[in-house]
Amino acid sequence: MEAPYGSWPSPIDGDVVASDPGWTHSLVHADGGSVYWSEARSLEGGRDVVVARRPDGTREDVIPADCSARTRVHEYGGGAYTVHAGTVYFCSDADQRVYAMRDGTPVAITPEPETEHGLRYADLQIVGAHLICVRERAAEPEHVNELVAIPLDGGDPILLEAGHDFYAAPRVSPDGTQIAWLAWDHPRMPWEGSELHVAEFSKEGLSLFKKRLVAGGAAEAIVQPEWSPDGVLHYSSDRTGWWNLYREDGTAVTALEAEVGGPMWVFGESYYTFLADGRIVLAYFSAGADHLAVIEDGALRDVPLEFTRIVDLTTDGRRALFVGASPTRALRVVALDVDSGAVEQLSVADDELIAEAYVSVARAVEYPTTGGKTAHALFYPPHHPEYQGPEGELPPLVVRIHGGPTAHVSSTLRPEIQFFTSRGFGVVDVNYGGSTGYGREYRDRLHGQWGIVDTDDAVNAARYLAQNGDVDGARMTITGGSAGGWTVLSALTRYPDVFAAGADYYGVAELTAFAEDTHKFESRYLDWLIDRSDWVERSPLAHADNIRAPVIVLQGDEDRVVPPSQSEVIVAALKRNGIDHEYLVFAGEQHGFRKAENLRRAAEAELAFYRRVFGIDEFTASDSF
């Protein structure tokens, strides 16, 4: 049936978006024949549940219904639970203490902090009678991060290592005699430069000695130190311009022009693992998608899979375990036999939230951008099995800007994208300069250029699609959250005639106040992104008078990464200048919405805003007569 683009009715409604917050499965562990993972449940107040899949195929939640396993270290968290000999240890979101599940009851094994959330833990690892992890202590002028050992039967944590601004990934060798960890200091972020340290380790005395620096530095980013079954330390380094695997002696295990690694925004991410026979299974990102390979007999063998997103890779010794997604299938936990290629789904095999007939599959786009360079994006054309646009009409476009800004998007099934494409909107997901996945040179394009490179790449993606006749250049919108919200505001101020509307999700608007208000982890990130002398001039707020397009602003009232004050100043400027706008505040939400009712409300509000701006009404069958 023919109907105007943007007006098509769709079964992919706000409830579908609300059912999948985008990070539904993560942090896979294997223990005693069972496989565990963390599962985000927007329909249960946004809590994170630890789920076990038993050897007989049954599944069960292994923390109580009133618990959420989430840590707030660095505010972004990660590594919030582990499991050893059948006992689950997890960080409780309610008080940030570590609990052990004993006889079905959570028992606190860390002391109660003097101030709310004053002691936080992450990246949990069991070693003998202790749990080794990162601890973040509330302090002034900023929090203190350390490595500690927590007695499994409870008691005060024992300090193992301190002195650096940040720590991550404490990993003890199989024989228990060595420990490796990552550290870095202000003003660096871990993907700019970090250090891999190793020390001799005494499990009995809980002391470190003979410390040595293995790799890393101010211009080399290390991720995921991991010990092989025979006790050889491995790690991923970007020293060649791409994250690749190395042994402790510096021998390269891979030499790909692809990424076996990524930015360490959260704890516990895994890009490779060792099978019991010593073979390495790894995931690498190339050409807009993840790929899985096995290193055997000194060679790398690709394993063909439908999955274009492969994260949190681990093993039960025999099979590779990971969270996977494809252009037509949402995230799920799977087990892969790397020899036969057989895949078993471990998480609940529900029907897909979105019928394949309604799915718009992205195509990778390379397009020219400022300075004669090339940028990358994924374009999702409008698609509906029952509707098509009128002859001669071009669809409106939604330009999506990911956060980070050091992150990337891949071609996987995202309900929040299909929500728009199934209604007749085109969507382009932009991996602007600064995104990971395309090598260090591409990532470093953003050095000192935040608000310029990302904005230019977003604008040029939209212009490229309009010039190619894929979309209507007069009906283009831009949307993004956090750093993506900054790019939205920058685009609306620097290029006021390109976009007809914008959606700013908890975006950065003014840098001086942001630097004073934000958390420790990112408090010096701006030093790399923008020279301090340019802060005022580069801030969207300084050019808010240039905004001509209507803007919808969405903000969580408990956001400590980008505080509500950032949204409030831009809303005040829009109001002062008489610009059409809406401002929605979501109670109880932090950085990124997690609750189903808020995910639904945000998606529906953004769609309604665009339709109002463009004068589009939802099409009904009676409209065809």
At 580-609, the pLDDT tens digits run: 999 999 999 988 888 889 999 999 999 999
Give the pLDDT confidence score for residue 110 in this predicted structure. Answer: 97
Count CA within 13 A, CB hemisphere, residue 587: 0
Domain boundaries, the chain: 356-618
* pLDDT bucket at 516, cuts 50 / 70 / 90: confident
Mean of pLDDT values over 494-523: 91
The pLDDT assigned to 563 comes to 86
Q: Is the pLDDT of residue 381 over 80?
A: yes
Which position has the higher pLDDT, 358 or 41?
Answer: 358
> How far is the C-alpha of 171 from the C-alpha of 555, rounded, in Å?
37
C-alpha to C-alpha distance for 153 and 129, rounded to whole angstroms: 8
What's the rounded Cα separation, in Å, for the pair 88 and 106?
Answer: 9
Reply yes or no on whether the pLDDT at 574 is more than 50.
yes
> What is the pLDDT, as a whole number, of residue 545?
94
Q: Is 411's pLDDT higher than 80? A: yes
Supply the angle between the helices 483-494 and 453-467 in degrees, to the nearest 10: 70
Which residues fall within 8 angstroms of residue 46, CB to CB, at 6 or more apart? 21, 40, 68, 593, 594, 595, 596
Q: Which fold has domain 356-618?
A: Rossmann fold (3.40.50)
pLDDT score at 622: 57
The whole-model pTM stands at 0.91
Beta bridge partners of 401: 430, 480
Residue 66, C-beta contacts closer than 8 angstroms, at least 6 positions apart: none
Helix (H) or strand (E) holding 125: strand 119-127
Q: Are 263 and 224 in contact (CB under 8 A)?
A: no
Grade residue 350 by pLDDT with cuts at 50, 70 and 90: low
pLDDT of residue 43: 82
pLDDT, position 625: 36
Distance CA 142, CA 521 (A): 10
Model confidence at 23, pLDDT cuts 50, 70, 90, reads: low
| Terminal-residue alpha carbon distance, the chain | 12
The answer to whether 124 and 199 are in contact (CB under 8 A) is no
Q: Is it the case that residue 332 has pLDDT exceeding 70?
A: yes
Say if residues 509 and 451 touch (Cβ distance below 8 Å): no
User: Predicted confidence band at 351 (pLDDT cuts at 50, 70, 90)?
Assistant: low
Instruction: Give Cβ neighbours of residue 450 (< 8 Å, ≥ 6 apart).
Output: 405, 434, 483, 486, 529, 530, 538
For the CA atoms of 256, 260, 264, 265, the dihedral, rounded to the nearest 10 degrees, stands at: 100
**Distances, alpha carbon 583 to alpha carbons 16, 572, 606, in Å:** 23, 10, 11
* pLDDT exceeds cutoff 60 at 21: no
User: What mean pLDDT is reported for the chain?
Assistant: 94
Q: Whole-angstrom Cα distance, residue 279 to residue 10? A: 46
